[in-house]
A and B are shown apart, each in its own frame.
Chain A
Amino acid sequence: QVQLVQSGAEVKKPGSSVKVSCKVSGGTFSSYVISWVRQAPGQGLEWMGGNIPVFGSANYAQKFQGRVTISADEAATTAYMDLTSLTFEDTAVYYCARYTSGFDLWGQGTLVTVSS
């Protein structure tokens, strides 16, 4: 069955960048919409953006425009989320999720800690 497996936890300095990967196994990667959703400690879910690899284009939440880049490597069946200019408020668990009728399949989450 289709599985989404994310890269491991990261600790970053304020002002730096982080790139999280999401390996998709099984299914037809190029037709999937892979989105990214984050969850700060004790807080709710926040959609960051998503892309359809076969179209090579992404759309981003207004809040993250200019700071996030979502991409995909079809050959590696892996999606990526790159977030720049990190601040302490970016400390969160970052999830990738496949969107079909809703976000129907999720990765296990990647904890990104921003600390000086």
Chain B
Amino acid sequence: AQSVSQHNHHVILSEAASLELGCNYSYGGTVNLFWYVQYPGQHLQLLLKYFSGDPLVKGIKGFEAEFIKSKFSFNLRKPSVQWSDTAEYFCAVNAENYGQNFVFGPGTRLSVLP
């Protein structure tokens, strides 16, 4: 069965620290990869996505993610976090062999201390 794992349940950082959130998935073949963010009290929204091409993808608010096919990973990074990055982050995968179904990871809660 398809599955998406996220390494950390809760990450606590101080402002200006660097961030890396892990995401791994468990199927082969062609995949499409997404990171979504949910700020407190707000809707889920798309941070960035990867379909093909350059495996280093840049998203909104200074976030980027790198697709490493050999490691089945799509880790999210930001060089310097801000208090406003406090949110829940979800990795999602669509495997083209599985049609249009998105599978979301369990999420990582990021708390940034001012």
Answer yes or no: are A and B bound together in one complex: no
B-side interface residues toward A, CB under 8 Å?
none
A-side interface residues toward B, CB under 8 Å?
none
